Structure 1
């Protein structure tokens, strides 16, 4: 298969069962019915234990390489990241069936948000290489961050489990987290010249043009389109000013704020004095919180993901 041709190659699909059995059964039925109707060869694996997702992804990639097939991730941005990590250097095309709350990766590339539509779009899709970011030894497709943002994600997941999954819950959870967050980072970063220092609550590195567009930072959308990553950090400001940034972002007006530092880059090293001697630092990568050894190295990597994108992308 060439990089631009549609294909009838077999699909090796990994479905993350994180949403509960009833919803997973419906998702599985939808996928199987659409593919059976199209006469497409496929193998669908449902992952019940999130801890087994990476191993199952590696197994699916091995099968796809042997059969000349396609690896497909069905889930949210975190699931997509894990399966993409296994697929990246394999040479296999990569498909996505978005099933998360925000689905930034799928939406950026015009993949339908309803599952049946996403499956049908996958059947006639063509391959388009897409940019991949890396933080230390982990890739990211949407964003990676340190500071307030990982804490915000942890609290959001706790609140969603208690109150339900919705964007309103996510927004209210963010307000609560900002009001209770006390840490400030004094971060030194090196872009290959003289090191610079900023004081901030969080450093956010984006790799998703749609996300930058929605919060209103058009210059960073342009940086991504030019093959760079987008660094965004609030200046050292109070909690009310930070809440103001949250509201501006919700209305797509962050680009006009003087309380924000933003710049594009291809490679950046980040560290701070408090990290010396620490074995791990909390970070967030594509919506999943983990710990990495400092210093933190952000970069655009040479390998590109061979993503299957629809012939007729859905644009919001």
Structure 2
């Protein structure tokens, strides 16, 4: 199914209520529910726009909370805003994307690929005024989403090595903190351990409609929907500007080979590595014969999905408030 671009969501730019879903743990940054409440009280005094801050009681409650807030916004004509990292934004968008509701993001994660790609401020003091100005102006634009199975992704989805790396990274973060350096060191340590490989059965539809069936022995299948992230490691983002998605498979390598891949990724040349095969597609069907489900990483969060899986651009875009063209958008 080709993505469609429905009409812009209709909102009352002056009075639409503001619903903020806040992950207080995201990225170890200041700017949790109490800080946002203070900022909103100053920016929106009584008698102006109504606003509500919705913090989950625990991370596990976030999907149910997002669904409740979406239902409320559909009822009162409100705008939904998520404050957190890419995983938090994903959870909220999962509940919202099929409904004509504008979405705002206050990026507060470790890497913030989604916010950086779309020119959203990551500074706590600048992000909220930027968002409020966009709502007042009705400033929103459609943003492409990826879909794997029944799940949406903003930045990436993967199976194999990357979900395992995330699990070990989270354990290191719990012990030592949530900075980018901790995340990168955890990734390096994880990558140097021996890993199993997968026999992937892939059916790929190219951007020109041609279909290909193949089998690949790989330790990782990575699917990207974020030009900034792809370019940072030296992969092509051309497919994302043509209504498709980009992907790579990583062949099994030993420790020396993995160290070489890490170095090539750090200098932005991963796409030139012999063990890496990258490709563009409009649709990708994935199967692992003998398995009923597989662990997937979606925007930094790990879940299990049933096999086989279909990956494609979602049929509807996300209407993002306050997006700006940046050097990373080119």
Query: Structure 1 34/239 Cα, relative in aligned 2: closer, same or farther at 3 Å?
Result: farther
Q: Do structure 1's residue 272 and structure 2's residue 278 form an aligned pair?
A: no
Query: Structure 1 222/314 Cα, relative in aligned 2: closer, same or farther at 3 Å?
Result: closer
**Structure 1, unpaired ranges of 5+:** none
Q: Do structure 1's residue 24 and structure 2's residue 42 form an aligned pair?
A: no
- State the alpha-carbon separation in 2 of the partners of residues 165 and 226 from structure 1: 35
- 1:97 alignment partner, one of 93, 106, 111: 106
Moved over 4 A (4+): 1-6, 19-23, 312-316
Aligned position for 2:4: none
Aligned position for 1:249: 265
Q: Deviations over 1:215-258 (max 9, x none)?
A: 121x2x11111111111122232222122212222222223323
Q: Deviations over 1:77-120 (max 9, x none)?
A: 11100100111111001110111001111111100011221111
Is contact 1:143-1:208 (8 Å) kept? Answer: yes
User: Considering only aligned residues, what root-mean-square deviation do their CA atoms show, in Å?
Assistant: 2.4
Query: Structure 1 197/279 Cα, relative in aligned 2: closer, same or farther at 3 Å?
Result: closer
Matches within 5 A, 1:43-62: 43-62=52-71
**Structure 2, unpaired ranges of 5+:** 1-6, 206-210
Q: What TM-score results when the alignment is normalised by the length of structure 1?
A: 0.90
Q: Do structure 1's residue 187 and structure 2's residue 200 form an aligned pair?
A: yes
Is contact 2:248-2:277 (8 Å) kept? Answer: yes
- State the alpha-carbon separation in 1 of the partners of residues 12 and 78 from structure 2: 12
Shift of 1:25: 4.9
Number of equivalences:
310
Shift of 1:169: 1.5
Matches within 5 A, 1:1-316: 2=8, 7-8=13-14, 9-19=16-26, 24-25=32-33, 27-29=35-37, 31-33=39-41, 35-36=43-44, 39-125=48-134, 126-192=139-205, 193-217=211-235, 219=236, 221-273=237-289, 276=290, 278-310=291-323
Is contact 1:7-1:124 (8 Å) kept? Answer: no
Shift of 1:73: 0.7
Query: Structure 1 66/5 Cα, relative in aligned 2: closer, same or farther at 3 Å?
Result: closer
Query: Structure 1 124/303 Cα, relative in aligned 2: closer, same or farther at 3 Å?
Result: same
Shift of 1:22: 7.7
- SS of residue matched to 1:122: helix
Aligned position for 2:208: none
- SS of residue matched to 1:269: strand
Comparing 223-232 with 13-22, greater Cα deviation is found at 13-22
